[in-house]
């Protein structure tokens, strides 16, 4: 959530930011409730002090009838004001939680994803002397996907993934882990991008796939309507992405500044409703209800949060360049970065089968928006307590990068070459 001090000091900024993100929040009402709450809290504290003074009779003397009556009246008034204070606190929290995170200074103002900015295109698109197929056509021919039997067992938008596609998925997992836990790789990426952050490898982690309702809400990532599955009869939700159970890991904890940054690379099977999706995205495995994903999550100091964000994007570019997949870098606009994000970047890989760039990576800078809700704090070297900053970013989505590999590395016979960097894990030239 947004710091109430910022809202008090600069309500115009918050109102403008809220509108630019496409949300409607009554900021003035929030400030009115905040003011009433502060005043009522002062009144309650005074009454408590007065009650305590009157209740502490000196010398064991019996209180007079007048004193007893006054204490009784104070208790009644105090009870009424405390009830009112509880109501105001609830109203205040409800309004505050509706305020979206403040957009970073370079985020373009826009009304939809059409207003996102393409910053650059990287890599040469493959030139074919034949009509390239989409990944689903190739996967069916090669017996890599079986949607029909998966639909029989689980319903639509599920797959049995088979044969070479399974090998490719596990090769990509090993490829990512090998690079992100390598100190030399981390050193080189930081140096090449002139980032002022500590060089420290990622810790591999397998997070839980289920999240409690209150914890998920505090992450500001719970989308019960369009995305997230709930276990009927339980206050538990299926993880929609690995970072959802990673960003919540240090809820209600205080981290020592010397521990930071904490960098995780998490692997998880993810589950999404994908409500509202249609058309060609339903073919193959571009949008499935179940998919595997490797996600990066970083906890840092406020001072290094934005550079950690740039670092994660640099890692994404490093991985795509190693795989020799053409892509473009997209800076997302205010309406598209999302409610809890301060800044967001998508990397879109070139898919010859669609003759289009499609999102395969996202990087989200959350600043202290999540950690204020989760109460994830830092004990500074000075002894002061501050809120940590969080970043999350895709390393590899295993329902999308295999698509990019299949379509960019296909030949006229429908065979798919193994990218050079994966041959250490798949010891042959073709899948």
- Provide mean pLDDT across the span 388-397: 97
Distance, CA of 272 to CA of 163 (rounded, Å): 25
By residue count, the chain amounts to 431
Buried/exposed code over 401-422 (b: 16+ C-beta within 10 A; e: otherwise): bbbbbbbbbbeeeeebbbbebb
Strand-strand pairing, 236-238 and 210-212: antiparallel
Distance, CA of 390 to CA of 220 (rounded, Å): 12
Instruction: Give φ, ψ of 427 to 5 degrees.
Output: -85, 60
Buried/exposed code over 150-168 (b: 16+ C-beta within 10 A; e: otherwise): beeeeeebbbebeebbebb
Identify the H or E element spanning 120.
Answer: strand 117-122
Q: Which two three-digit tokens encode residue 254?
A: 């205080």
Distance, CA of 316 to CA of 248 (rounded, Å): 23
**DSSP line for 280-297:** GGGSTTSS-SEEEEEEEE
pLDDT of residue 278: 57
pLDDT at 18 over 90: yes
The angle subtended at Cα 427 by Cα 423 and Cα 431, nearest 5°, is 80
For 4-96, the fitting CATH number among 2.40.30.10, 1.20.1050.140, 1.10.287.40, 3.40.30.10 is: 1.10.287.40
Question: CB neighbours of 380 closer than 8 A, spacing ≥ 6?
Answer: 257, 386
Distance, CA of 75 to CA of 68 (rounded, Å): 11
Distance, CA of 268 to CA of 246 (rounded, Å): 11
Cβ-based neighbour number of residue 189 at 10 Å: 19
Q: Where are the domains of the chain?
A: 4-96, 113-422
Distance, CA of 20 to CA of 334 (rounded, Å): 6
Q: What percent of the chain clears pLDDT 90, i.e. is strictly above it? A: 84
Q: What is the mean pLDDT of the chain?
A: 93
pLDDT of residue 79: 85
Per CATH, 4-96 and 113-422 having the same topology is answered no
pLDDT of residue 72: 80
pLDDT of residue 77: 82
pLDDT of residue 264: 98
Q: Which fold has domain 113-422?
A: BirA Bifunctional Protein; domain 2 (3.30.930)
The dihedral built from the CA positions of residue 418, 419, 423 and 429, taken in this order, carries a sign that is: positive
pLDDT at 32 over 70: yes
pLDDT digits (tens, 9 = 90+) for 73-114: 888 888 888 889 999 999 999 999 999 999 999 999 999 999
Question: Mean pLDDT lowest for which of 51-55, 340-344, 382-386, 389-393?
Answer: 51-55
Distance, CA of 111 to CA of 32 (rounded, Å): 29
pLDDT band (50, 70, 90) for residue 124: very high
Distance, CA of 76 to CA of 87 (rounded, Å): 17
pLDDT band (50, 70, 90) for residue 160: very high
Q: What percent of the chain clears pLDDT 70, i.e. is strictly above it? A: 96
Could you list the beta-strand ranges (E) of 213-342: 236-238, 254-256, 262-271, 290-300, 327-331
User: Environment class of residue 326 by beta-carbon count within 10 Å: exposed (0-12), middle (13-18) or buried (19+)?
Assistant: buried
pLDDT digits (tens, 9 = 90+) for 180-221: 999 999 999 999 999 999 999 999 999 999 999 999 999 999
pLDDT of residue 210: 96
C-beta separation of 99 from 1 below 8 A = yes
pLDDT of residue 274: 80
pLDDT of residue 284: 84
pLDDT at 66 over 80: no
């Amino acid at each position: 959530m947004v710091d109430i001090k910022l809202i008090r000091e600069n309500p115009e900024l918050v109102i403008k930011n809220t509108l630019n993100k496409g949300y409607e929040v009554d900021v003035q009402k929030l400030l009115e409730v905040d003011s009433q709450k502060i005043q009522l809290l002062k009144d309650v504290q005074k009454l408590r002090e007065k009650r305590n003074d009157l209740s502490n009779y000196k010398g064991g003397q019996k209180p007079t009838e007048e004193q007893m009556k006054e204490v009784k009246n104070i208790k009644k008034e105090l009870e009424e004001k405390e009830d009112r204070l509880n109501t105001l606190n609830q109203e205040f929290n409800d309004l505050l939680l509706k305020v979206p995170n403040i957009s970073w200074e370079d985020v373009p103002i826009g009304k939809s994803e059409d207003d996102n900015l393409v910053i650059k295109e990287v890599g040469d698109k493959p030139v074919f002397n034949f009509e390239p197929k989409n990944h689903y056509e190739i996967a069916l021919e090669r017996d890599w996907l079986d949607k029909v039997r998966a639909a029989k067992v689980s319903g639509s938008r599920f797959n049995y993934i088979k044969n070479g596609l399974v090998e490719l998925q596990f090769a990509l997992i090993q490829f990512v882990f090998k690079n992100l836990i390598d100190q030399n790789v981390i050193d080189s990426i930081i140096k090449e991008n002139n980032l002022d952050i500590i060089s420290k490898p990622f810790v591999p982690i397998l997070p839980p796939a289920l999240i409690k309702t209150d914890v998920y809400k505090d992450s500001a990532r719970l989308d019960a309507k369009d995305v997230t599955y709930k276990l009927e009869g339980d206050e538990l939700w299926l993880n929609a992405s690995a970072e959802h159970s990673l960003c919540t890991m240090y809820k209600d904890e205080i981290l020592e500044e010397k521990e930071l940054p904490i960098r995780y690379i998490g692997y998880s099977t993810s589950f999404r409703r994908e409500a509202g999706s249609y058309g060609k995205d339903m073919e193959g495995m571009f949008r499935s209800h179940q998919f595997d994903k490797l996600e990066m999550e970083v906890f840092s100091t406020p001072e290094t949060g934005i550079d950690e964000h740039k670092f994660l994007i640099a890692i994404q570019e490093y991985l795509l360049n190693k795989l020799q997949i053409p892509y473009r870098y997209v800076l997302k606009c205010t309406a598209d970065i999302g409610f809890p994000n301060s800044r967001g970047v998508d990397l879109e890989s070139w898919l010859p089968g669609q003759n289009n760039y499609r999102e395969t990576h996202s990087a989200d800078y959350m600043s202290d928006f999540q950690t204020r809700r989760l109460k994830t704090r830092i004990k500074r070297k000075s002894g002061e307590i501050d809120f940590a900053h969080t970043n999350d970013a895709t390393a590899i989505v295993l329902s999308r990068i295999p698509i990019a590999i299949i379509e960019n590395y296909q030949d006229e016979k429908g065979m798919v070459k193994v990218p050079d960097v994966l041959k250490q894990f798949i010891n042959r030239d073709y899948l």
